[in-house]
């Protein structure tokens, strides 16, 4: 009986550790990196407002590295979680939207571009709410156009910051291309998400209780 009790005592802490790990997804490496990216946002804002563009460019590159690493680690360590699926795009949107707003305030990005970026993000939130209300769908995975738009936004912010460090011709041209790509893909992805939402809502209505 004593041996059995000892085995149970040894198993209980181990089981508690496993349960604790499952109940605390914030402890996983990918989610910690995502949280680090969120924490970098106020420091980026402060360095841009202080016109410390070299430091802000370095912090932005560091944020980009955390974005690349969290997905890689999630796959390699098999630490994908529902929290991570929601937290990662939220971190990206929070960082990029904040930077577009601050860079517009500093006169480095045209206000039209930032208005389009914010309008598209608000539109996606509205579309997601409509989908949830109409069909109960919580997942709204990013499309290829949406992912391309995120890449364009990252490139635009990086190019704008880099342009403050060097006036090289290729940097100036890259900045213009990235901003034009951001505008084009923002509009395209907004239209695409609206089209997808309309199809899903229509399908949900067709398959509703009154459908034959």
The token duo for 84 is: 């991570």
Mean pLDDT calculated for residue range 62-76: 80
pLDDT higher for 16 or 57? Answer: 57
Q: For residue range 108-144, what is the model confidence (pLDDT) as tens digits?
A: 999 999 999 988 888 777 776 766 666 665 555 667 8
pLDDT higher for 70 or 40? Answer: 40
Q: For residue range 6-17, what is the model confidence (pLDDT) as tens digits?
A: 444 545 444 444
pTM: 0.77
The token duo for 1 is: 């009986």
CA dihedral 18, 24, 30, 31 (to 10 degrees): 180
| Dihedral of alpha carbons 181, 184, 187, 188, sign | negative
Alpha-carbon span 90 to 99, nearest angstrom: 14
Mean pLDDT calculated for residue range 24-49: 84
| pLDDT value at residue 23 | 45
Alpha-carbon span 83 to 98, nearest angstrom: 22
Residues belonging to the chain: 212
């Amino acid at each position: 009986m004593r041996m059995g009790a000892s085995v149970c005592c040894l198993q209980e802490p181990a089981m508690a550790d496993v349960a604790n790990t499952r109940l605390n997804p914030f402890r996983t490496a990918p989610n910690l990196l995502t949280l680090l990216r969120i924490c970098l946002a106020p420091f980026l804002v402060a360095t841009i407002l202080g016109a410390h563009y070299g430091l802000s460019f370095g912090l932005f590159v560091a944020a980009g590295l955390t974005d690349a690493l969290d997905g890689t680690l999630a796959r390699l360590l098999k630490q994908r979680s529902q929290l991570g699926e929601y937290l990662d795009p939220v971190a990206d949107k929070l960082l990029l939207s904040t930077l577009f707003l601050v860079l517009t305030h500093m006169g480095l990005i045209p206000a039209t571009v930032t208005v389009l970026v914010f309008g598209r993000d608000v539109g996606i939130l509205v579309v997601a709410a409509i989908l949830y209300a109409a069909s109960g769908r919580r997942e709204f995975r990013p499309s290829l156009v949406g992912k391309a738009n995120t890449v364009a936004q990252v490139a635009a912010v990086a190019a704008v910051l880099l342009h403050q460090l060097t006036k090289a011709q290729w940097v100036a041209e890259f900045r213009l291309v990235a901003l034009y790509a951001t505008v084009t893909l923002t509009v395209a992805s907004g239209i695409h998400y609206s089209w997808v939402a309309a199809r899903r809502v229509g399908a949900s209505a067709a398959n509703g209780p009154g459908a034959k």
